[in-house]
Amino acid sequence: MTTAPVMPAPVHFSAGTGHFALTNTTVIHASGSAQPVAEYLAELLSPATGFVLAIDSTGSVDAQSEPVTDSPALGAIALTVGNTALPSPGYLLSVTSTRIELRADDAEHLFAGVQSLRQLLPHAIESSSVQDVDWFVPCVEITDYPRFSYRGAMLDVARHFFDVATVKRHLDRMSLLKLNVLHLHLTDDQGWRIHIDSWPNLTALGATTAVGGGNGGFYSKADYTEIVEFAASRYITVVPEIDVPGHTNAALSAYPELNCDDVAPAPYTGIEVGFSSLCIDKDVTYQFLDDVFREVSELTPGPYLHLGGDESLATSDEDYLEFIRRATAIAASHGKALIGWHEMGRSRDLPAGTVGQYWSYVAPRDDADKRVASFIEQGGQMIMSPADAIYLDMKYASDEELGLEWADGPTTLHDAYTWDPAAITIGVTDEHILGIEAPLWTETIDNVRDLEYMVFPRIIAAAEIAWSPRSAHDWADFTRRLADWSPRLDAAEITYNRVNEVSWPK
Ligand code: TNX
């Protein structure tokens, strides 16, 4: 059993004796693709330590399969990209009293290793101002690689809008936990949040409100690009979702021609679902999709485009299947791999490899197993987001103010931690699972404090499900480690729910 002070738990951890002392003369050695990670590390360590660490990039460039040949001076941190010989891409971290060596298969996993190193430093490292602390790193050996390559968080910016600064802050929180995908739910009945040049009223009219009637908002293309680039600097991929054919009242209210009767509905500020649908029979619908998918694909360097497809209760079966056939073909023509909520598995005409996102329960209902089988038969994998386990918008407890309760009542931290994606009885095992995603729907969330309160600490459980091997999962151990780790959340000024399942330090 691991007792690593690292979240999510590493595959192998062994504690040595003594420590490495980080000082303002510590040099970071890194070259090639390790260099941007070294720059990130130096920047990360700077606010709390006050150090401006030097980066030496004169060593050998990325090692291939040979061992590290350069020997950085004593008191150094060496970051190297090269073969680790692990079962899947990961990193090796060795801390001795004289040097720290971090080696990873690629820059992404080097960055993940830096997050472990960060967590070995005193909690005060998370502070935004200089702290008078001995910056000791305990001597350890860590061997680590993720169980799943897709480790996501979803943010619904449609029900309530969150500005670029909030999204960046969220991305930084995610990187601490080795999460590497941000799924942005950009469009819904209550708002359209991404500017589309060829259909400007989507934002001019469709972005001006939110649940409860707030002001709304949207990302300009420059805003969206700023998010994508910031995410990339944290090795996080952005997955944009344009939810169709349902969840489209904002688009329908902005463009009357997208409605079968050419009448634009009023903007919607409630929280019902399943009442809107694009008009399936009109050619303009597909012209619209082609333009939107093209513009969003052009802005998005990541491989995925999410088409939603959930809760299309106002679309007949026949229309839904026709729509999905046409819409997925158009989306795929713009070069992206597609993702759809599991209902999209009703279609047998999906582009090969379309990924399904499972949002039914840990004990599946409503033919969800059949939908999943359909994706797999069509060559796709699954992203697992069981609503009663990792929907971060569910209440923590019935007497909480924030959150919804439809997924069988509250979702405790215990619920979020004690499930296994490969044990849901829908015939999927690790090989069919691309990864895990924890969604935050925002019907009841409209500010960054509430957002973090819903997300933490349950997202730490989600991250451990996504990264750590099943054998490392242990509820009692997790809650103990979380209690020890909580001063880090405090130092980082992260709001979190001090759930009574954890003996938080006073
Ligand atoms: C269901 S699950 C939805 C969202 C809501 C959410 C609230 C899914 C794919 N759709 O439209 O926001 O419940 O928990």
Predicted pLDDT at 74: 63
Residue 188 CA: nearest ligand 1 atom is: 11
Mean pLDDT, the chain, integer: 95
pLDDT score at 67: 43
For 127-195, the DSSP string reads -SS------EEEEEEEEE--S-SEEEEEEETTTS---HHHHHHHHHHHHHTT--EEEEE-EETTEE-B-
Separation of alpha carbons 453 and 181, rounded Å? 20
Q: Output the CA angle 314-182-87, nearest 5 degrees.
A: 120
CA distance 348 to 371: 10
Pocket perturbation via mutation, ligand 1, pick of 311, 366, 406 by most ligand atoms within 8 A of CB: 311
CB-based contact 325:349 (threshold 8 Å) = yes
- Per-residue pLDDT tens over the stretch 220-249: 999 999 999 999 999 999 999 999 999 999
**pLDDT, position 69:** 44
Q: Which of 310, 392, 406 to mutate to test the pocket of ligand 1 (most atoms within 8 A of CB)?
A: 310
**Atom nearest to 359 CA in ligand 1:** 2
Ligand 1 centroid distance, CA of 37 (Å) = 36
What average pLDDT does this structure show over 436-454? 98
Task: Give the residues surrounding ligand 1 with Cβ less than 6 Å away.
Answer: 273, 310-311, 341, 359, 391, 393, 404, 441, 443
Q: Which of 39, 226, 257, 311 is catalytic?
A: 311
CA 457/CA 142 separation, integer angstroms: 24
pLDDT digits (tens, 9 = 90+) for 387-439: 999 999 999 999 999 999 999 999 999 999 999 999 998 889 999 999 999 99
pTM: 0.96
Q: What's the chain's Rg over C-alpha atoms?
A: 23
pLDDT the model gives residue 71:
52
Measured in Å, residue 409 CA sits from the centre of ligand 1 at: 14
Which residue is it, tokens 């990792």? 390
Residue nearest to ligand 1 atom 6, measured at CA: 441
Nearest CA to ligand 1 atom 12: 441
Fold type of domain 150-491:
TIM Barrel (3.20.20)
Residue nearest to atom 5 of ligand 1 (CA): 441
User: pLDDT-based confidence at 347, cuts 50/70/90?
Assistant: very high
Give the pLDDT score at 214: 87
Indicate whether 113 pLDDT > 70: yes
For residues 4 and 22, give the distance between their C-alpha atoms in angstroms, rounded to a whole number: 20
| Ligand 1 mean position, distance from CA 441 (Å) | 7
**Residue 1: band (very low, low, confident or very high) from pLDDT cuts 50, 70, 90:** very low
Mean pLDDT across 374-396: 97
% of the chain residues with pLDDT over 90: 94
Mean pLDDT in residue range 129-152: 98
How confident is residue 4, by pLDDT bands cut at 50, 70 and 90?
Answer: confident
Q: What is the average pLDDT across 315-332?
A: 97
Residue 66 among the catalytic residues: no
Domain ranges of the chain: 12-144, 150-491
* Ligand 1 centroid – CA 302 distance (Å): 24
Question: What's residue 146's pLDDT?
Answer: 98
> In testing the pocket of ligand 1, which one of 242, 441, 444, 446 has its CB within 8 Å of the most ligand atoms?
441
pLDDT at 60: 55
Domains 12-144 and 150-491 share a fold: no
Q: Which residues, at least 6 apart from 352, have a Cβ–Cβ distance to it below 8 Å?
A: 378, 379, 380
Rounded mean pLDDT, 187-193: 98
The CATH number of 12-144 is 3.30.379.10
pLDDT in tens, 49-88: 999 999 999 875 444 434 444 455 567 999 999 999 999 9
Three-state secondary structure of 18-85: EEEECCCCCEEECCHHHHHHHHHHHHHHHHHHCCCCEEECCCCCCCCCCCCCCCCCCCEEEEEECCCC
Which residues, other chains included, contact 382 with Cβ-Cβ below 8 Å and sequence gap of 6+?
342, 355, 356, 357, 358, 372, 375, 376, 428, 432, 433, 434
The span from the CA of 477 to the CA of 457, in Å, is 15
Q: Return d(Cα 166, Cα 177) in angstroms, integer.
A: 17
Instruction: Report the nearest-CA residue for atom 4 of ligand 1.
Output: 441
pLDDT per residue as tens digits for the range 80-109: 999 999 999 999 999 999 999 999 999 999
**3 confidence band (pLDDT: 50, 70, 90):** confident
Tens-digit pLDDT profile for residues 486-500: 999 999 999 999 999
**Coil, helix or strand for 105?**
coil
